[in-house]
Structure 1
Amino acid sequence: MLVRVCSLRSLIAVLPILLVGAGCNVAGFKPTAETGSPSPTVMQTQAQVPAAQASPPTTATFTASQRTAGFSSDGRYFMQLESSRDTGAGIPRAALQIVDLAENRCVPNGCITTSYGEADAQVSLTVAENSLLQKTQALRQSLNLTQPTSGKVLPLERSQTSGAGEVVTVQLQGAPMQLRLQQKQTLSPMFGGTAEKDKAAMELQITHQGKTRSLGSLEQYQEGVVSYSIREVLLSPDGQQVAVIITAIRPTFEGTLATTFIQGFGI
């Protein structure tokens, strides 16, 4: 027969479980159901919570300022000059691209950027841009790019947009032209990934009048880029070249920055 003896300290120290089962209140001891330990049901629920997925941003916090952009007078080349300021130290940065559209590549010495440091934080963006224009003055003259010419903007119809890419359609020469952008990324913890550095790769597939071509490669990563998207499609004044203006989003000290990446092809 079990006797309730709650006044004996020795029994309380040795037989706490018996005392609780007998209805005595033992200071400092609570049954398992009242402790902070999770029940099997709670543990199972916690185990089923999925891990956060890496997610590249589709919009940017800041956008680089465009100084000038356009085609050469013969339509073969496209030039883009833009600038921005680092949101941390305030360092100015200007970037110039001169692209041979038919070859889809930068002309020699045509894609350059400034290389200022923290001591140059007071340099204006205009000064930064002008420094690149001065460096490429002879080159731009030889390519008829001293005064870039505006092309024709082809209206975009977006039919698919996702983190893995997008599909847009424009009308060219009386027929639809489909541009499919595919991309993949390796992301840092800032965007939910585990990589040490952010980098992204893209491939642009163009289908027009039964023919398909591809620009870029999913195996060629660009460091410092987290995502790509098609911004604009331009037709050269002579109607023979197409410039695809792509937004490349890059991480910055406080958010992300939308910059420009030029791709092109001949018709």
Structure 2
Amino acid sequence: MSFDQTGDEDQQLDEAATAIMLRRLPCKLMIDSFLEILNQFWPGLYNFVYVPHDKSRARNVALAFVNFTDSESARMAYAYFQGRAHLMDTRLGPHSRVCQADVQGLNLNLAYFVARSGFSDLDNPHAPRVFENGRRIDLLEAVKKHVTMQLVAQASRHMKAVDDVRARRKAPKQDCRKDVYVPPRVPQGPGRHAWHSDRDDSSGSSTRLRQASEGGADPSASSSSSHSTIGHRRGRWEGLGPLIGSGLAAVQPDGSVHFFL
């Protein structure tokens, strides 16, 4: 089987698709170089870029994920990475492949990353980069703005299902794509955003995280550098078993739930 970029020429993106996945990239390609390539043709037209990194080998895992701000930009980028629109940048290597990503949209990609890596990895220098109007924004702020607890719970369930399937299969030979980030398709579910950020106007320095309630009242939650506490009746947290099981949340004796940031 050929692994050069011409292998994907007959494939097309879905009409509304905005996210693509690149594979078989050179293991030494870092995210800054990849962003330079994106900015040659689509400056300000993408909002999520992730080049998964192998910590033990200090290199990427030969994959990259990009979500564009609109489907037309995604189609132009897809054609470029197929090698049809322009001669590709040599930093992409001679064997790169491109396909439509399983997870589409900024919010779903962020939810999957939180479900997979937890809140502690949001400060990792190799975590996804999020952009708004071409400007990089803080990843935690992006998660607060775009991710709901329902999306994280759905992503956790799908992630567990994918991991269970992989565990039943014989492990393939390992190469530089160790710990490959392969997000499952996560359908967008209903729900309000899990976090709101309230700044203390008196000092301008403290921030409180709270969850919006359905009735309009906002049960407050204290916040520190390690976790935030959201107190509520236990019944409100049904369906968060995957989050609790993965260590992203813990039920307290009083019925409240601690979400670890």
TM-score (norm 1): 0.25
TM-score (norm 2): 0.25
**Larger gyration radius, structure 1 or structure 2:** 1
> Which structure is higher in helix share?
2
